[in-house]
């Protein structure tokens, strides 16, 4: 679910202390975007929203979330994505929990 090599790479690049800050910023931004999507993105913005989420997920190492977002991004014009959005939210929640636990970051 998480590319731990990517997380280690980030830690090496920015340091462990700054990594915690980056993780919290990432989780906050993604959670906000997911709330927007769950609230009902328009077909026009859904593809853009999924692109944002996919890119963000890849940057922090959430590979499974990135794959799921890419799938929805590719089929955003179909309009029948409620199950996919629910699965994306669940994947995000599980990934966020796992990353926080691994890095010793308390949920805010």
Query: According to the model, what pLDDT value does residue 38 have?
Result: 83
List pLDDT tens digits, range 49-77. 999 999 999 999 999 999 999 998 888 76
Radius of gyration of the chain (CA): 14
Q: Where are the domains of the chain?
A: 4-103
Q: How confident is the model at residue 107 (pLDDT cuts 50, 70, 90)?
A: confident
Query: According to the model, what pLDDT value does residue 77 have?
Result: 67
List pLDDT tens digits, range 12-33. 999 988 999 999 999 999 999 9
């Amino acid at each position: 679910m998480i590319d731990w090599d990517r997380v280690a790479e980030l830690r090496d690049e920015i340091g462990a202390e700054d990594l915690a800050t980056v993780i919290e910023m990432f989780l906050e931004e993604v959670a906000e975007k997911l709330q927007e999507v769950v609230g009902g993105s328009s077909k026009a913005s859904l593809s853009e929203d999924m692109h944002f989420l996919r890119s963000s997920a890849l940057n922090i190492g959430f590979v499974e979330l990135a794959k799921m977002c890419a799938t929805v991004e590719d089929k955003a014009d179909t309009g029948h994505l409620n199950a996919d959005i629910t699965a994306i939210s669940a994947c995000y929640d599980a990934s966020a929990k796992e990353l926080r636990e691994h890095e010793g970051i308390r949920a805010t």
